[in-house]
Amino acid sequence: MSNVPIELTLNERTVLPSDLRYLIDKYPREVWQGHENLGEMARFWLQRHDMFRELSAMLRSSLVDFREDRLDVEAFAGFFAPRLRFFLQQLHGHHQIEDMHYFPIFMEAEKGLKKGFDILENDHEVIHDALERNHEKGRAFLQVLHENGSRRRFAADEYAKENDDLILMLTRHLADEEDLIVPVILDRGEAALGLDQG
């Protein structure tokens, strides 16, 4: 783990500290969509984040429906298992690309935000551990899915808690990541950062 102060770790912070907010203050979210420097890469990246939010909501909703007997076992398994697998795989790959390719570019371009990217990299480590736990609890839950009674209920409860914890972390992380990265893109432009698709 990195040397990120405990109050700035993913499970502790509620917002980025003020010394990292100078660009988001200059480029608040309300101006993003109409800004001329919001290019193809940034739009694609934001769409990926929205996909993770949508998948999180779908997984949570289907789990609630199953636990409250609004979805039978077969319908739930057919819906839930492939989406969970896709969600976990895609999120892991997304973070690897950010860590190896995008974060170094942004850290070099805006040195005043280095601490922010250290925080985001630490987030990725925390989320990676949560993904591992989510995968394990999800597998254990799916293994007893066709059983009746307390084993299935217990596994569902354990997985639901793990899933809720992951979604809470992911929601905070995605918002903070966007608040750091999008303003850098708007300030510099994708071409100047070497991010344009052309």
CATH code at position 141: 1.20.120
- The residue count for the chain: 198
Structure confidence at residue 148 (pLDDT): 82
pTM of the prediction? 0.92
In a domain, 65, yes or no: yes
Residue 182 has pLDDT above 60, yes or no: yes
In a domain, 75, yes or no: yes
In a domain, 3, yes or no: no
In a domain, 4, yes or no: no
Structure confidence at residue 3 (pLDDT): 82
Instruction: Provide the domain count of the chain.
Output: 1
In a domain, 87, yes or no: yes
**Domain of 119, in residue numbers:** 19-193
pLDDT digits 0-9 by tens, 69-103: 999 999 999 999 999 999 999 999 999 999 999 99
Residue 1 has pLDDT above 60, yes or no: no
Instruction: Return the residue matching tokens 């839930």.
Output: 80
- Separation CA 9–CA 31 (nearest Å): 28
pLDDT digits 0-9 by tens, 40-65: 999 999 999 999 999 999 999 999 99
Q: Which residues contact 53 (CB under 8 A, 6 or more apart)?
A: 171, 174
